[in-house]
């Protein structure tokens, strides 16, 4: 996870550890660019998608909501809120790191 509360910018990656490397499953983001403002995610969709190892961004990832769409969800990031926000979005149990 990387974020800057003063911008605010947020990048939180959900990845699976694998002997061949990390496989990024999804990225939750918020940027302060006017056309990208608001929480959104990038992920590869479809049945049995082939996710490359070691790549943060790769062909076939889609953005939800789509680029240019109106964002309804705005978030404020603080040192204490940003991690729970990402864990809740990814449905990760913070005590064990297991997917819910």
Residues that bind Zn ion (CB under 5 A): 29
Minimum distance of Zn ion from residue 82's CB (angstroms): 16
Please identify the residue of the shown chain whose CB is closest to the bound Zn ion: 29
26-59: b or e for each residue (b if 16 or more CB lie within 10 Å)? bbbbbeeeeeeeebbbbbbeeeeeebeeeeeeee
Q: At closest approach, how far in Å is the CB of 60 from Zn ion?
A: 15
Contact 39, 48 (CB under 8 A): no
Nearest to Zn ion of 18, 37 (CB atom): 37
With respect to Zn ion, which residue has the nearer C-beta, 69 or 94?
69
């Amino acid at each position: 996870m990387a974020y800057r509360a003063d911008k605010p910018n947020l990048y939180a990656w959900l990845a699976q550890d694998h002997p061949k490397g990390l496989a990024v499953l999804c990225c939750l983001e918020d940027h302060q660019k006017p056309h990208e403002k608001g929480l959104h995610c990038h992920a590869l969709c479809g049945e049995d998608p082939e996710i490359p190892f070691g790549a943060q961004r790769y062909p076939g990832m889609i953005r939800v909501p789509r680029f240019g769409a109106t964002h309804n969800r705005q978030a404020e990031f603080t040192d204490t809120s940003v991690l729970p926000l990402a864990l809740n979005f990814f449905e990760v149990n913070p005590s064990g790191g297991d997917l819910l």
